[in-house]
Amino acid sequence: MQTRDKLYIDGAWVAPHGRKTIDVQSASTEDVIATIPEGDEEDVNRAVAAARAAFDAWAATPVAKRAEYLQKIHEGMKARADEIGRTIAQEVGMPLKLATRIQAGSPTFTFSMYAKMAPGFTWEEKVGNSIVMREPVGVVAAITPWNYPLHQIAAKVAPALAAGCTVVLKPSEVAPLNAFILAEIIDSVGLPKGVFNLVTGYGPVVGEAMAKHPGVDMVSFTGSTRAGKRVSEVAAQTVKRVALELGGKSASVVLEDADFAAAVKGTMSACFLNSGQTCSAHTRMLVPESKYAEVAEIAAAEAQSYTVGDPMSETSKLGPLVSGAQRERVRSYIRKGIEEGAELLAGGPDAPEGLAKGFYVRPTVFGRVNPQSTIAQEEIFGPVLSIIPYKDEEEAVRIANDTPYGLGGGVWSKDEAHAMRVAKRMRTGQVDVNGAPFNMLAPFGGFKQSGHGRELGAFGMDEFLEYKSVQFRPEPKPESAKR
């Protein structure tokens, strides 16, 4: 068992203010695999003071030098990729092969992406008689979730550092061990003290202290919509910038002219990835009424291919959920779907056979789901797919847009121009056509209660920059030009 008893503040591993600790459980065995410090407001105050003191020098550091540090962090993460993948597989439950490729590979790429991007970024430009400059927003409080823990950390920390900001990070207490690995790597590359700080603890204590702190210039938060609303409320007292990446209830719209076998398989893959613990998961599949029976049969059969088991096993396609609380939440939604009259095509609320221990849930598919029902409107965050029939394309678009969220989505059609017309009508931050892969260079974020602001690519770095315009008197026109 690991014992993490220090926080990373002002370039050093330091004892926390309090003596309380938080247990970290294995998602697959329910065993306690580590303890971490339960930080408090005093720890936040120390971290913010360090970040504040480091800001001016870091902001003045040449962009090329900042990029060098990011590249070194990338290299350190790459060298420890197997360890990161294994750690997150234990914490979160994603099968090891996927965890190494996605949970370790994505954040490693992110640091490299910003290392390459920063030197060529447009930091200032001439607009009329003004020089418009982009400058770092200041001290950033980054509050991150447990489902893609290091990916979400990297999506905030890397662009913030590239922009010239200093950072205080609070990772999720449910999956925090990967953040300690990152802090070790950052320490090893010699990043100036105070530029990056790590404080672990609970959201209502550490997160709130960060959001309200007058020394913090911006909060970048990823998590539930409920918690995001609270962050906004607290941060508003000091009128600091807030970026929110929140929940989703994404629709996969399967059009009449789609390849239905590919659409069902692709949608279920986008729904069940990471055991459904993905904010942009395609959890609603909208299909033509005339094709419902065919789709239901394909989906029920496809669900059987999702082998549930130990994330360390080569044969497991679906691991456990992250915690006992999450398991009970998902099972309660499955029971609610049955109570509300949806057709249960696969799965159900009972534990998978032979897996009484561990936070496992059966991959579940509901058919003929009422678009206004609980399971069609609320984010479940588990391997639960709702199939919703529609009469025509107009109704499909209306249903797709008729939730409080707007984060992801998909369109399936053999005609890409047709798919594009539908994609343009969907009120959501990202739309995948025919199962197109995730693009790390494209902006990620949502409409409506899925949040505001964007992450990744150049768009993600813009979030951490302020615009300043400096005006000069226009050059007087020569006399000859006046005639």
Active site members: 245, 279
Q: Is 290 left (phi over 0), alpha (psi -120 to 50) or beta?
A: alpha
Residue 388: phi, psi to the nearest 5? -120, 115
Enumerate residues 6+ apart whose C-beta is below 8 A from 268.
299, 302, 303, 306, 365, 385
CA 448 to chain centre: 17
Q: Which residues pair with 318 in a beta bridge?
A: 308
CA 395 to chain centre: 30
Q: What is the dihedral of CA 441, 447, 453, 458, to 10 degrees?
A: 20
Report how far residue 124's alpha carbon sits from residue 41's, in angstroms, rounded to the nearest whole number: 38
Report how far residue 330's alpha carbon sits from residue 114's, in angstroms, rounded to the nearest whole number: 36
Report how far residue 336's alpha carbon sits from residue 309's, in angstroms, rounded to the nearest whole number: 25
- Residue 394: count other Cβ atoms within 10 Å of its Cβ: 10
Here the tokens at position 317 are 């396609």
- DSSP secondary structure code for residue 480 in this structure: H
- Is the distance from CB of 283 to CB of 366 less than 8 angstroms? no
- Is the distance from CB of 8 to CB of 183 less than 8 angstroms? yes
DSSP for 10-51, please give it. TTEEE--SS--EEEEE-TTT--EEEEEE---HHHHHHHHHHH
- Is the distance from CB of 400 to CB of 253 less than 8 angstroms? yes
Report how far residue 97's alpha carbon sits from residue 83's, in angstroms, rounded to the nearest whole number: 12
